[in-house]
Chain A
Amino acid sequence: EDQVTQSPEALRLQEGESSSLNCSYTVSGLRGLFWYRQDPGKGPEFLFTLYSAGEEKEKERLKATLTKKESFLHITAPKPEDSATYLCAANTGNQFYFGTGTSLTVIP
């Protein structure tokens, strides 16, 4: 069964305390692995696409990496404005499989 699992469900960090979010996937024929940020009451905002194992993408304090079984979203020296829910999704062509997200809170 194709599925995506994210951990942890929730994460509280002090401002400046770096950490990583995990996205494990078991899908047939991965076409792309996507990361999104979702703020309360809003739609997910696209962050990154990763296509193959070993690939890395960076944007400000965020870096996404991909292996054959999982993806990590590394957050370096986070700020309170990084607080949000982070979703990952695996694409197999027509279908997108979403994890349940990690709710990140960054405390000043």
Chain B
Amino acid sequence: DGGITQSPKYLFRKEGQNVTLSCEQNLNHDAMYWYRQDPGQGLRLIYYSQIVNDFQKGDIAEGYSVSREKKESFPLTVTSAQKNPTAFYLCASTYPGGSNSPLHFGNGTRLTVT
């Protein structure tokens, strides 16, 4: 079955450490997205990528970094510069912009930084 796999489901880190969240899709989608979800807030866009080796900052990119070396993979690194990293992180994919296709989501990674 096609889908988006995020790993790990839960992640615990100490302050000051960088951490990388994995996102892999086998839907043959070109576009991939990272969102952050906090209680009482809508999904906020961190980064997105329309094609391999290209990506754009979203609304809250500070303290995060991404890479897009393969079509299937879009890992997100939460750096020590991110002031409030504890959150639920969602990866999504779709066909490229303008195609009217919905986003398909993974099941998220819950990151806790203490």
Contact = CB atoms under 8 A, between A and B. Distances in A.
Interface residue tally of chain A, by bracket? 20 to 34
Nearest to A89: B103
Interface stretch (B14-22, B39-47, B62-70, B72-80): B39-47
Contacts of B108: 41-43
A34 B107 contact: no
B53 interface: no
Interface residue tally of chain B, by bracket? 20 to 34
B92 to A, nearest CB: 8
Interface of B: 4, 6, 31, 33, 35, 40-43, 45, 48, 50, 90, 92, 97-98, 100-108, 110
Contacts of B6: 43
A86 interface: no
B97 A93 contact: yes
A100 interface: yes
Contact of B102 (A49, A99, A100): A49
Nearest to B96: A94
